[in-house]
């Protein structure tokens, strides 16, 4: 029987549409869920919406709708957005659902029966934004910095103070309860600092779940929302299913809501006689241009806007690759463009396309036969197998960016293997047909392993590569443990070749951003009629997007020869890691052909091809002009070939 794995995202507040922060959490959870399925677990992936509380009641009032209308609209938006982003959730819990109301009533009654609940009077400062009471005497919220409101009301209290020691023992017994480990200390110090009982009901508003047998009281929204992790798994409605699912293996959250998940939540569960979750995994926070994202600052990036600008896979890859889980990051569209063009279109897309095209052209689209290993074959196979192990190690530690980094190293090794073996040259020599087949088999097999490993993060592209390789089993059926070398069937037909992740043109990309932003602010027509800023008419400085259009890369000169009849020109073959370029450069008066092989150079890679003295040149070598003398730009440290200059 498969081992179960229960994973959750926070239940998002539905006072607005999903944005890049919600997307980040959800995409990490999706990647982990897909990875665990690929490791043979029976995964239950829950997401959902937190629909009660004063904040929502007020938001509805401001928008002139009832709370129910407001939450129906935005809960629908969340669910629809996650579906269009291809999020593989199994359960979507809404805290306004009956099954959830039942669960909240049940857990409360159990706690009450066991003596963890009493009534009293609450007086204190409350942050409506965070739906949380702040420490005594504080007039601003320590989490969001907004002013708090003084409230006094009769309330049901939860005896948190009685569980202080039990919580500390639990942390000692489960030192990796909070991940990354660095955050565990902050939780332990908070609890050691002393716990006060917490108020878990309100009488000052009505939008929420009433306390059983005392309907003047509405449950405190965090008490209500956290219980969503139980109700989504069947607590209170499907006891058999719940028994299988609980405890949760991971609650994935942002660092902002760690205390609720690592202190209050295990305490609630202890009081209800339920096991605590195995891990709370807290990720970092995204800023935009270094600033906290907010509507008032106008730097709020919605998920819809993101998806209008780039493919879902590109958004997911960017978010997963750009920062380590736990660290903070700065969101920029330039970063998204660079990751898409450089990693997905260039590195991955080109190596897949080249390999498949050669199989189509030289072997009529049938996977060639694998012959004797020679010339780097063994190294490629071993590197692929080492990468699978490393990838697994990193993913198991939730270091998704490093797991991806290791796959990209394999992509680079595959590209080097192609450059070193030059199958396009072998194809010209009938005597090398067997060897050509072996090189292409090995390349295709490496590509298969790469596609399967990338499945959890970029499922559409991974599926497409498998289809193109002619693999019939859908992506979901591939298990990491089956990823042994040599599974690709010799002689089987490859599928139709379609380029994955076409390169995004920076101008077109910028136009998409502008259109998405205009649509978001409801000002599409105003934006298209707007005059360009006065500055741009007289100033010849360029914006970063224009600079980003110049694709400068590091290459290594493989060979150089003089062009007959030219004093100035040399013909060079330059290795860019993923391909070899022929470049004609006007440097013969300063450099001899013998001095160049092995030298690292910088080239402009996206220059249109040109013919110089009848020889095709594909790119330009960058050099300083010292009077008439060209001086090649030099890199003084080793650099991966193909690295981009920016
Ligand atoms: N409703 C509560 C959670 C209850 S869970 C039982 C809540 N909702 S929220 O809509 O505010 O979403 C919180 C989560 O969204 C954060 O924990 C984090 O996962 C994510 N993010 C919101 N803004 C974010 C960033 N700017 N950056 C990264 N993640 C962020 O809190």
C-beta of residue 94 within 8 angstroms of C-beta of residue 49 = yes
> What tens digit of pLDDT does each residue of 186-220 get?
999 999 999 999 999 988 888 999 999 999 999 99
Residues 627-638 have a mean pLDDT of 82
What are 361's two structure tokens? 């052209």
Between 13-17, 253-257, 524-528, the lowest mean confidence (pLDDT) is in: 524-528
Q: Which of 36-45, 482-491, 497-506 has the highest mean predicted lDDT (pLDDT)?
A: 36-45
Give the pLDDT of residue 616. Answer: 84
Residue 210 is predicted with a pLDDT of 96
Residue 178 Cβ < 6 Å to ligand 1: no
Q: Is the CB of 225 under 6 A from ligand 1?
A: yes
DSSP state at residue 601: E
- How many angstroms is it from 132 CA to the middle of ligand 1? 14
Question: Is any atom of ligand 1 closer than 6 Å to the C-beta of 288?
Answer: no
pLDDT > 80? residue 98: yes
Query: What ligand 1 atom has the least distance to the C-alpha of 228?
Result: 6
Q: What is the pLDDT of residue 152?
A: 83
Asked if pLDDT for residue 120 goes beyond 60, the answer is yes
Please report the pLDDT score of residue 534 as a whole number: 34
Ligand 1 near 300 CB (within 6 A): no
Q: Which of 7, 8, 9, 10 should be mutated for ligand 1, with most atoms under 8 A from CB?
A: 10
Q: Is the pLDDT of residue 557 over 80?
A: yes
Residue 229 alpha carbon, nearest atom of ligand 1:
6
CB atoms within 10 A of CB 307: 17
Q: Tens digit of pLDDT for each residue in 401-437?
A: 999 999 999 999 999 999 999 999 999 999 999 999 9
The pLDDT, as a whole number, for residue 528 is 33
- Which of the four pLDDT bands, split at 50, 70 and 90, describes residue 543? low
Regarding the beta carbon of 257 and ligand 1, being less than 6 Å apart is answered yes
Residues 40-78 have pLDDT tens digits of 999 999 999 999 998 898 888 888 999 999 999 999 999
How much is the pLDDT for 363?
98
d(CA 263, CA 280): 11
Q: Which of 8, 11, 12 to mutate to test the pocket of ligand 1 (most atoms within 8 A of CB)?
A: 12
CA angle at 307 for the pair 5 and 19, rounded to the nearest 5°: 65
**Ligand 1: distance of its center to the CA of 400 in Å?**
20
Instruction: Please state, in angstroms and rounded to a whole number, the distance separating the CA atoms of residues 517 and 459.
Output: 27
- Give the residue, by CA position, lying nearest to ligand 1 atom 12: 12
Asked whether residue 537 carries a pLDDT value surpassing 50, the answer given is: no
Q: Is the CB of 75 under 6 A from ligand 1?
A: no
Please state the pTM of the whole predicted model: 0.80
Give me ligand 1 centre to Cα 162, in Å.
29
Cα of 51 from ligand 1 centre, angstroms: 14
What DSSP state is assigned to residue 477? G
- Under the banding of pLDDT at 50, 70 and 90, the label for residue 589 is confident
pLDDT band (50, 70, 90) for residue 541: low
Q: What average pLDDT does the chain have?
A: 91
Q: Is the CB–ligand 1 distance for residue 277 below 6 Å? A: no
550 or 110, greater pLDDT: 110
Q: What percent of the chain has pLDDT over 70?
A: 95
Kindly state the percentage of the chain with pLDDT values over 90. 72
Query: Tens digit of pLDDT for each residue in 251-306?
Result: 999 999 999 999 999 999 999 999 999 999 999 999 998 888 887 777 889 999 99
Handedness of CA 378, 379, 380, 386 (dihedral sign): positive
Cβ 188 under 6 angstroms from ligand 1: no
């Amino acid at each position: 029987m498969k081992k179960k794995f229960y994973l959750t995202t926070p239940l998002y507040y539905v006072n607005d549409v999903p944005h890049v922060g919600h997307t980040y959490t959800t995409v990490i959870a999706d990647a982990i869920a897909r990875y665990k399925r690929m490791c043979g677990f029976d995964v239950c992936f829950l997401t959902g919406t937190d629909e009660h509380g004063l904040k929502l009641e007020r938001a509805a009032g401001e928008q002139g709708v009832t709370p129910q209308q407001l939450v129906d609209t935005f809960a629908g938006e969340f669910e629809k957005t996650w579906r269009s982003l291809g999020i593989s959730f199994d359960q979507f819990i809404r805290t306004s659902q009956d099954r959830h109301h039942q669960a909240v009533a049940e857990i409360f009654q159990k706690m009450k029966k066991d003596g963890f609940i009493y009534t009293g009077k609450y007086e204190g400062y409350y942050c409506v934004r965070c739906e949380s009471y702040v420490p005594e005497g504080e007039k601003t919220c320590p989490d969001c910095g907004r002013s708090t409101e003084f409230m006094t009301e009769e309330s049901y209290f939860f005896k948190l103070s009685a569980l202080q020691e039990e919580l500390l023992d639990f942390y000692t017994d489960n030192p990796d309860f909070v991940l990354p480990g660095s955050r565990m200390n902050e939780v332990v110090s908070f609890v050691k600092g002393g716990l006060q009982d917490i108020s878990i009901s309100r009488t000052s508003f009505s939008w929420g779940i009433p306390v059983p047998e005392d309907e003047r009281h509405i449950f405190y929204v965090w008490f209500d929302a956290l219980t969503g992790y139980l109700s989504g798994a069947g607590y209170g409605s499907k006891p058999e299913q719940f028994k299988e699912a609980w405890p949760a293996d991971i609650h994935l959250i942002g660092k902002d809501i760690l205390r609720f998940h690592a202190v209050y939540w295990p305490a609630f569960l202890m009081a209800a006689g339920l096991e605590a979750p195995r891990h709370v995994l807290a990720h970092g926070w995204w800023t935009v241009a270094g600033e906290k994202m907010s509507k008032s600052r106008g730097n709020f990036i919605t998920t819809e806007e993101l998806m209008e600008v780039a493919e879902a896979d590109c958004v997911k890859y960017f978010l997963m690759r750009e920062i380590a889980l736990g660290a903070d990051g700065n969101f920029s569209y330039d970063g998204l463009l660079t990751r898409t063009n450089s990693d997905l279109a260039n590195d991955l897309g080109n190596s897949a396309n080249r390999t498949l095209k050669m199989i189509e052209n030289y072997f009529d689209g049938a996977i060639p036969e694998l012959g004797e290993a020679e010339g780097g074959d063994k190294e490629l196979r071993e590197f692929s197998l080492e990468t699978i192990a490393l990838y697994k190690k990193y993913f198991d530690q939730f270091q998704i960016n490093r797991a991806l980094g290791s796959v990209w190293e394999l992509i680079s090794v595959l590209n080097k293997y192609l450059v070193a073996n030059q199958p396009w040259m072998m194809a010209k020599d009938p005597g090398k047909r067997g060897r050509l087949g072996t090189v292409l088999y090995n390349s295709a097999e490496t590509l298969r392993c790469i596609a399967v490993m990338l499945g959890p993060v970029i499922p559409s592209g991974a599926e497409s590569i498998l289809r193109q390789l002619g693999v019939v089993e859908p992506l979901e059926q591939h298990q990491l443990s089956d990823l042994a070398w040599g599974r690709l069937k010799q002689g089987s037909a490859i599928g139709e070749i379609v380029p994955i992740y076409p390169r995004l043109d920076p101008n077109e990309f910028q136009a998409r951003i502008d259109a998405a932003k205009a649509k978001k602010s409801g000002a599409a027509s105003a934006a298209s009629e707007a005059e360009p800023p006065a500055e741009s008419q007289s100033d010849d400085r360029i914006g970063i997007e224009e600079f980003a259009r110049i694709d400068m890369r590091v290459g290594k000169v493989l060979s150089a020869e003089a062009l007959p009849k030219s004093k100035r020109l040399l013909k060079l073959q330059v290795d860019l890691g993923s391909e070899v370029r022929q470049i004609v450069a006007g440097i013969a008066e300063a450099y001899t052909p013998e001095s160049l092989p092995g030298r690292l150079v910088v080239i402009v890679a996206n220059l249109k091809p040109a013919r110089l003295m009848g020889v095709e040149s594909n790119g330009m070598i960058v050099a300083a002009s010292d009077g008439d003398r060209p001086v090649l730009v030099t890199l003084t440290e080793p650099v991966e070939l193909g690295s981009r200059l920016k």
